[in-house]
Chain A
Amino acid sequence: MRFDLIFKHADMFIDGIVMTLELTVASLAIGMLIAMPVAVLRTMRLPYIDAVLRGYVFVFRGTPMLVQTYLVYYGLSQFEFIRDSFLWAVLRSPFNCALIAFSLNTGAYTAEILRGAIEATPKGEIEAAQAIGMSPLRMLRRIVIPGAFRRALPQYGNEVILMLHGSTVASIITIQDILGAGRTLNGKYYLAYEGLVTAAVLYLALTFLIAGAFGIAARHLQAHLRPASTR
């Protein structure tokens, strides 16, 4: 192992970490913005709208994120009317393409996680809210959603890790994320291990950090599930 080369290019890996985190966090944030209305609407089972949303979730959960990314990055450029439109300014950048594909992907998974958590709201808690005269919207905001977020936390933590791992697809469309940095290092010096091992270690470390953070968050937010220390 040529550790000297890894340290010589430490800044490349640091830039890679920043890029990976940027892409992951932004995708998760946009994905959450997509997921919340999708999840809530899906629990309402509205005709037509539900079919559309089910289709969205089915397509994005049923196909590889790599293919979804290809479709946005390579696929959309096939159409002249897109290349000629203002959209091209957005779609020309690999980062934006990755962001669009990743957000739609994690949005679909997160929507399903949230929907499950919303539907797991105890019926009695809803009745108690109705009984004091809460409106449906207020009930959603005060009782259903806050409860659902807490219930969804462990699964969402998992989704965050999957998104981090999935974001490696970005390096395939030339984005210099952690994996991109590793591949660049290997390519530059004709190495077989160093760059990729470094990338693997960094991803492993980030995975641990995320898992740990969600563990701590769960302990705070799910305090209501813990028996009291004192009686």
Chain B
Amino acid sequence: MTKFIVRRLLLAIPTLLGVSFLVFASIRLVPGGPAIALAGELATPEIIEQVNRELGLDQPLLIQYVNYLGRMLRFDLGRSIRSGLPVIEEIQTRLPRTLLLAVVSLTVSSVLGITIGVTAATRPNSLFDGGSMIFALLGVSMPIFWSGLMLMIFFAVLLPQWLTSIGFPTGPILPPTGSGTWQHLVMPVTALAANSMAIQARMTRATMLEVLRQDYIRTARAKGQKERIVVYVHALRNAMLPIVTIIGLQFGTLLGGAVLTETVFSWPGIGRLLVDTIGFRDYPVIQGTVLTISVGFVLTNLFVDILYAYLDPRIKYS
């Protein structure tokens, strides 16, 4: 197992190098540098030149990249052009927030998604099955930023209005944006979970249907085991493989893909940091953020693979 992990980690290195070089080169090849963003509309050519010299942007691209790699080996990602703070620090303040959002919404959605999926699979072609699958598909179809806005209108405007009209005067039910308390989590988590839950429910249903037709399930049933145990212990365990894969992939996507939710709810996460700094041409932060997200992505995939090996009965029982 260790050998497998080490090999996978080594294989990830060229990929990450590729990502970092592509980002490094592409942000420098497009027009509009950080100097303008830094000095604003008042930037004179002298200031721009000065800022560029300071940032080392006047050197050849390859030299810049080699320098960058050298510093990276010492875990020095440079300093943000905009704030002057170390990139590591910028990322450290954002990453936990994104992780929190990702973990909470994935936990909520997994519990609900798998439950719905299993229930639907045990009653194929029932009203619940059809209804939940249509809702699941609608959930995936909703643009996530849009559902976020709709939640905001609902909790901030419509619901208080309704409550007030029936005699319970109240302000907005939930804080619309920001982070800090659990109330702040409710709306972004709902928006994100509605989306990933739908995918999980569909995936669970499909695999469960397949597993439930297998011989050993019939055997288990014939042995007189309780249906609940058959479904949740025997069948679900074997259906977990693709479900875990999907959850793992979703976690990776949430690492950076939560940017839309983060934008709608002013959630100070890493996706938001990336989008903001792209607008600002804050090269060191863009590079650092992209690298962090890629590493997270690669590690998640590796973790899924390991889990896969662990869960796969063919490996387990051989």
- A and B associate in one complex: no
**A interface, CB within 8 angstroms of B:** none
Q: Which residues of B contact A (CB under 8 A)?
A: none
